[in-house]
């Protein structure tokens, strides 16, 4: 009996109160903050099922002491749980029998809520009230999908809204909606007639999040499309991991290896219900419209087929395009070792540069995507393009150093060095850097030499000449390529991407070998070169060499080598010309400041709206759109002083005068030769002599002691006149206008007591509205308004009118007898 008694006492000593035991299991003082909060929530839920207030308060005091919990942490949470659930440990199962048959008892016990689906108007989320009665408080059910994790703070939950009145709808729920009832309801209403009902408040919102919060597996939103750091390529709606292509689900989710990724552009959440007449999605309000331009498209041709077509259409320029496609796809590999140049097509209108550039652009993008026009797009859109697509090319049209925003010019310089743009985040003191993830294709009509040819030095320029009428073969090639672009070709990028590991393993060694080789050959041939230019072309050469060993591209290594070598030489020479001209102008500025050359004698700067230049054997007048400062330069004294200063300061040999003139004539700011312009001469005299003319504002020097403002000396007039010479269409400074002559009569006094004299006044007119050309025939009466400039030489006054407004009169002009004939400038 003694042993039995001892055993009973031992058993009794081990017995614990179930509530205290459960509380200790739920709460661990050494746990993480999140686990501590979960433990407190569990204790509150357990205590909330004890209906006897005295018993509940007693347990509260014991638990606070036994578990070392701050009392207020439990009392605050307990308010949300009173009379809402049943505690199985206490054995009080009376309430279980009160729950409806459809209820999930575990969900009710743990969260004091449940939900019903496919029940018509009864579909919704139900919450317990006094006596464990379940009351409907929403007309929808939330089905968790994914937790869209974002280190930048834009974390959301992707879910389905299930209701009886509409098919399941995708919704993004930002984290903040679970902390604000107003934001929660507002977000729901944005998606349709989803609403909460009477009794739904912040406590219910908290219960709901506790119930579903852990049911959202992590997914990482792709901030950029194209190459991903985890080692796969992402289209807007599919990924290629180096082995296989996988399409995104309708939710915009794809699993790569062991992680989920989210592409908003691939999600039905942003898919429009609207379609156009051809059955295509209308994307007027789609925030991810631009991303969808890089959606996967099964290509009608292989990458090799595309390459061969580029060679047929563009010849050597096609080699640049093909190798730059690989440089773009493997940009991250190359930039870990070397800097990547821009490619830069330039030439006159209709020379083929746009088709060439679009040959690469539409290899990556949908036919509806448009290149960026530097004269129209915003700075924000510009940098967004630079950042949005990684290891993809971007095409920027209308590159003109004098017309584009200075931010763009600096950005192209920075691209070469991999420098992004800092911008504010909308939070005081916080900034972020917009990265430059793309490669760059430029097109323009002229070659840039601005800022010491800084962009040119960072580019591989490709010149395009007007080919005239295209042959039948050229037209057929274009039509074939264009048909490919209409179907979409970016699916063939997978063929090139499959060689990424091989490229990474071989590029750097080939680059170093080709760099040593080409520099050695240039030195042997005595050809000077610029180090940066050699490296730019060696990037092209090494890339082509590596890929030619594994793919048929329509050209050979020797072709590419000879092209790169030839262009290194020619571009290095061109840059040297730019450098020599810059040195000349800076020396000239120094000579002026020192007083060695004189304003008015060796040069002069004048603001003019027109100038005369020698063309062949003739002198012609060129009219300008606005007053422009022109510098007239005589080399008689300036060149010897420049040459002497160059020898003294550098110890080198200056370029000879004829070479300098050749450089003048090829520079962008050269306007031409003037046969006779008036300069000052010693002794207070003046002479008419020849000079070289330049656009002063584009040279970048200061040759004026007092920088006088640009004064427009034209005066505004209105008059009725008669056309004396019919209109002709002319192209001046890349712009079209019409030129015509008019006359009118005015009375002039010849002296006191004498009869006024009628004189005919002749004016040469220019107007930008070329639609008037067929109307301005001889003897047509017109009304004119414009800016008149007058210049008197000897006894004759030359008049020019820049017309701003023109109206055709109904009556016909007339010419009185005995009036001198019209003198025109055309």
Residues 680/625, Cβ–Cβ less than 8 Å: no
Residues 6+ apart with CB under 8 A from 536: 341, 458, 459, 460
pLDDT at residue 432, rounded to an integer: 66
The DSSP output letter for 196 is B
Q: Per-residue confidence at 37, pLDDT binned at 50, 70, 90?
A: confident
pLDDT tens digits for 312-352? 999 999 999 999 999 999 999 999 989 999 999 998 888 89
User: So what's the pLDDT on residue 434?
Assistant: 78
Helix axes 472-487, 353-364, angle to 10 degrees: 30
**Structural contact between residues 220 and 190, judged by C-beta atoms closer than 8 angstroms:** no
Closest CA to 510 of 338, 356, 627: 338
Output 580-585 pairs: Cβ under 8 A, ≥24 positions apart.
580/655, 580/660, 580/663, 581/663, 581/664, 581/667, 582/452, 583/646, 584/642, 584/660, 585/699, 585/700, 585/701
Count Cβ atoms below 10 Å from residue 163 Cβ, excluding itself.
Answer: 19
**What pLDDT, in 10s, does the model give residues 50-60?**
867 778 888 88
The pLDDT score that the predictor gives to residue 818 is: 33
Is residue 575 within 8 Å of 532, Cβ to Cβ? Answer: no
Q: What is the mean pLDDT of residues 103-107?
A: 90
460 or 648: which leads in pLDDT: 460
Looking at residues 722-729, what average pLDDT do you find?
A: 91
Of the listed ranges 98-102, 687-691, 734-738, the least confidently predicted one is 734-738
Residue 140 has pLDDT above 60, yes or no: yes
pLDDT of 414 higher than 90 = no
Residues 321 and 419 sit within 8 Å (Cβ to Cβ): no
- Position 88 pLDDT exceeds 50: no
Instruction: Considering only residues 77 and 825, tell me which one the structure prediction assigns the higher pLDDT.
Output: 77
- For every residue of 666-730, which 3-state class applies, written as one string? HCCCEEEEEEEEEEEEHHHEEEEEEEEEEEHHHCCCCCCCCCCCCCCCCEEEEEEEEEEEEEEEE
pLDDT of residue 228: 95
pLDDT of amino acid 511:
97
Q: Looking at residue 83, what is its pLDDT?
A: 44
729-734, Cβ contacts within 8 angstroms, sequence gap of 24 or more: 729/770, 729/773, 732/622, 732/623, 733/622, 733/624, 733/625, 734/445
Specify whether the CB–CB gap between 591 and 635 falls below 8 A.
Answer: no
Residue 734: CB atoms within 10 A of its CB come to 10
How does residue 80 score in pLDDT terms, banded at 50, 70 and 90?
low
For residue 329, give the nearest of 3, 650, 547 by alpha carbon.
Answer: 547
Q: Alpha-carbon distance 372 to 641, whole Å? A: 47
pLDDT at 781: 94
Mean pLDDT of 12-37: 77
DSSP 359-399: HHHHHHS-TT--PEETTTS-HHHHHHHHHHEET-EEEEE--
CA dist 71 and 50 (Å) reads 18
Please determine, for residue 2, whether its predicted confidence score (pLDDT) is greater than 90.
no
At 22, the pLDDT band (50, 70, 90 cuts) reads confident
Cross-strand bridge partners of residue 421? 434
- 619: phi then psi, degrees, rounded to nearest 5: -105, 125
Output the six-digit token pair for 438.
């793309």
What is the mean predicted confidence (pLDDT) over 589-610?
88
Query: CB atoms < 10 A from the CB of 587, how many?
Result: 20
CA angle (816, 822, 826) in 5-degree steps: 155
Q: Of 152 and 814, which is predicted with more confidence?
A: 152
pLDDT-based confidence at 703, cuts 50/70/90? confident
pLDDT over 50 at 708, yes or no: no
Element of type H or E holding 22: helix 18-26
- If you average pLDDT over residues 487-516, what whole number do you get? 96
Backbone angles phi and psi of 134, in degrees to 5: -90, 125
- Phi and psi at residue 347, to the nearest 5°: 160, 175
Whether residue 65 is predicted with pLDDT greater than 90 in this model: the reply is no
Worst-scoring range by mean pLDDT, 20-24, 139-143, 185-189, 803-807?
20-24
Mean pLDDT over 507-522 rounds to 96
Tell me the C-alpha distance between 353 and 343, whole Å.
11
What confidence tens digit (pLDDT) does each residue in 451-496 have?
A: 778 899 999 999 998 777 889 999 999 999 999 999 999 999 999 9
Q: What's the mean pLDDT in 269-289?
A: 69
Q: Checking DSSP bridges between strand 225-228 and strand 389-390, what pairing results, if any?
A: parallel
Q: How far is CA 7 from CA 15, 16, 17, 18, 21, in A?
A: 13, 17, 20, 21, 22
Q: Which pLDDT score, from 0 to 100, does residue 822 have?
A: 36
Higher pLDDT, 700 or 136: 136
- DSSP annotation of 298 reads -
**Range from 125-134, 212-221, 706-715 carrying the lowest mean pLDDT:** 706-715
Q: What's the CA gap between 115 and 98, in Å, rounded?
A: 16
Using DSSP, how many helices (H) and how many strands (E) does the chain show? 22, 30
Q: What is the mean pLDDT of the chain?
A: 85
Return all residues near 448 (Cβ < 8 A) that are at least 6 apart.
344, 399, 401, 455, 456
pLDDT greater at residue 97 or residue 116: 116
Query: What mean pLDDT comes out for the span 259-263?
Result: 92
pLDDT on residue 272: 63
Residue 78 three-state SS: helix
pTM: 0.66
Q: Name the 3-class secondary structure at 115.
A: strand
124 closest CA partner among 109, 95, 102: 102
Nearest-CA neighbor of 172 among 251, 97, 77? 251
| Distance between CA atoms of residues 204 and 114, nearest Å | 11
pLDDT number for residue 823: 38
CA distance 511 to 338: 9
The conformation of residue 268, written as its DSSP 8-state character, comes to G
Q: What is the reported pLDDT for 381?
A: 87
In DSSP terms, which residues pair with 239 in a beta bridge? Answer: 234, 246
Count, residues in the chain: 826
- Give CB contacts under 8 A, 24+ apart, made by 726-733: 726/776, 726/777, 726/778, 727/767, 727/772, 727/773, 727/774, 727/775, 727/776, 727/777, 728/773, 728/826, 729/770, 729/773, 732/622, 732/623, 733/622, 733/624, 733/625
pLDDT at residue 820 above 60? no
User: What tens digit of pLDDT does each residue of 649-695 get?
Assistant: 778 788 889 888 988 887 878 999 999 898 988 777 888 999 999 99
The proportion of the chain whose per-residue pLDDT surpasses 90, expressed as a percent, equals 47
Residues 6+ apart with CB under 8 A from 264: 221, 252, 270, 287, 288, 291
| Sign of CA pseudo-dihedral 360, 361, 362, 365 | positive
Nearest-angstrom CA–CA distance, 560 and 544? 8
Count of CA atoms in the C-beta half-sphere (13 A) of 202: 7
Give the residue from 601, 562, 776 showing the smallest Cα distance to 683: 601
């Amino acid at each position: 009996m003694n042993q039995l008694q001892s055993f009973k006492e031992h058993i009794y000593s081990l017995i614990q109160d179930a509530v205290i035991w459960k509380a200790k299991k739920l709460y661990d003082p050494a746990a993480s903050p999140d686990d501590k909060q979960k433990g407190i929530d569990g204790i509150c839920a357990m205590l909330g099922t004890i209906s006897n207030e005295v018993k509940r308060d007693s347990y509260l005091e014991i638990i606070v002491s036994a578990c070392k919990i701050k009392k207020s942490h439990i009392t605050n949470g307990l308010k949300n749980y009173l009379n809402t659930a049943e505690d199985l440990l206490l054995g009080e199962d009376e309430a279980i029998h009160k729950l409806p048959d459809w209820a999930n008892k575990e969900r009710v016990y743990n969260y004091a809520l449940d939900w019903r689906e496919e029940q018509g108007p009864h579909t919704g989320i139900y919450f317990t009230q006094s006596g464990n009665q379940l009351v409907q408080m929403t007309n929808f059910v939330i089905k968790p999908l994914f937790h869209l994790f974002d280190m930048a703070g834009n974390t959301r939950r992707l879910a389905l809204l299930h209701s009886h009145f509409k098919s399941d709808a995708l919704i993004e729920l930002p984290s903040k909606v679970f902390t604000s009832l107003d934001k929660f309801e507002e977000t729901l209403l944005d998606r349709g007639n989803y609403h909460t009902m009477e009794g739904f408040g912040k406590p219910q919102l908290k219960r709901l999040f506790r119930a579903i919060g852990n049911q959202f597996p992590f997914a990482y939103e792709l901030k950029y499309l194209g190459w991903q750091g985890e080692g796969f390529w992402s289209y807007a709606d599919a990924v290629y991991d180096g082995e296989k292509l996988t399409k995104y689900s309708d939710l915009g989710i794809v699993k790569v290896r062991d992680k989920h990724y989210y592409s908003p552009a691939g999600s039905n959440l942003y898919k429009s219900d609207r379609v156009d007449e051809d059955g295509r999605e209308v994307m007027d309000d789609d925030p991810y419209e631009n991303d969808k331009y890089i959606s996967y498209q099964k290509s009608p041709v292989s990458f090799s087929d595309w390459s061969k077509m580029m060679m047929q259409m563009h010849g050597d320029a096609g080699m640049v395009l093909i190798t730059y496609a690989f440089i773009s796809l493997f940009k991250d590999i190359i930039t870990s070792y070397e800097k990547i140049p821009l490619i830069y097509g330039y030439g006159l209108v209709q020379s083929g540069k746009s088709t060439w550039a679009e040959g690469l652009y539409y290899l990556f993008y949908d036919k509806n995507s448009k290149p960026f026009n530097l004269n129209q797009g915003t700075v924000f859109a510009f940098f967004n393009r630079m950042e949005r697509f990684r290891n993809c090319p971007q095409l920027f049209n209308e590159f003109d150093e004098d017309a584009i925003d200075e931010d763009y010019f600096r950005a192209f310089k920075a691209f070469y060095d991999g420098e992004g743009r800092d911008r504010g985040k909308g939070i005081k003191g916080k900034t972020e850097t917009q990265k430059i993830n793309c490669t760059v294709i430029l097109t323009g009509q002229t070659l840039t030499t601005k800022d010491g040819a800084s962009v040119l030095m960072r580019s591989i320029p490709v010149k395009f000449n007007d080919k005239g009428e295209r042959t039948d073969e050229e037209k057929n090639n274009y039509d074939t390529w264009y048909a490919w672009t209409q179907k979409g070709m970016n699916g063939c990028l997978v063929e090139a991407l499959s060689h990424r590991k091989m490229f990474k393993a071989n590029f750097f060694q080939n680059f170093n070998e080709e760099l040593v080789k080409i520099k050695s050959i240039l030195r042997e041939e005595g050809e000077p070169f610029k180090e940066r230019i050699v490296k730019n072309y060696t990037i092209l050469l090494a890339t082509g060499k590596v890929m030619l060993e594994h793919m048929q591209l329509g050209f050979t290594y020797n072709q590419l080598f000879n092209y790169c070598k030839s262009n290194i030489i020619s571009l290095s020479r061109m840059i040297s010309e730019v450098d020599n001209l810059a040195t000349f102008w800076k020396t000239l500025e120094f000579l002026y400041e020192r007083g060695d050359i004189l304003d008015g004698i060796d040069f002069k700067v004048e603001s003019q709206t027109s100038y005369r230049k020698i063309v062949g054997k003739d002198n012609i007048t060129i009219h300008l759109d606005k007053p422009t400062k022109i510098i007239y330069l005589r080399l008689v004294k300036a060149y010897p002083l420049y040459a002497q200063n160059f020898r003294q300061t550098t110890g080198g040999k200056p370029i000879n005068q004829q070479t300098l003139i050749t450089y003048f004539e090829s520079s962008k700011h050269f306007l031409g030769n003037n046969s006779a312009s008036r300069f000052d001469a010693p002794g207070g005299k003046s002479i008419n002599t020849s000079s070289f003319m330049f656009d002063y504002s584009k040279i970048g020097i200061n040759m004026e002691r007092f920088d006088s403002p640009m004064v427009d000396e034209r005066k505004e007039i209105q008059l009725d006149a008669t056309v004396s010479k019919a209109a002709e269409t002319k192209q001046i400074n890349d712009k079209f206008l019409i030129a015509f002559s008019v006359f009118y009569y005015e009375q002039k006094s010849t002296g006191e007591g004498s009869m006024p004299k009628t004189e005919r006044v002749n004016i040469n007119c220019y107007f930008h509205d070329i639609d008037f050309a067929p109307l301005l025939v001889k003897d047509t009466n017109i009304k004119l308004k414009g800016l008149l400039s007058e210049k008197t030489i000897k006894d004759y006054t030359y008049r020019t009118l820049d017309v701003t407004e023109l109206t055709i009169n109904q009556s016909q002009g007339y010419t009185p007898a005995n009036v001198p004939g019209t003198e025109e400038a055309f």
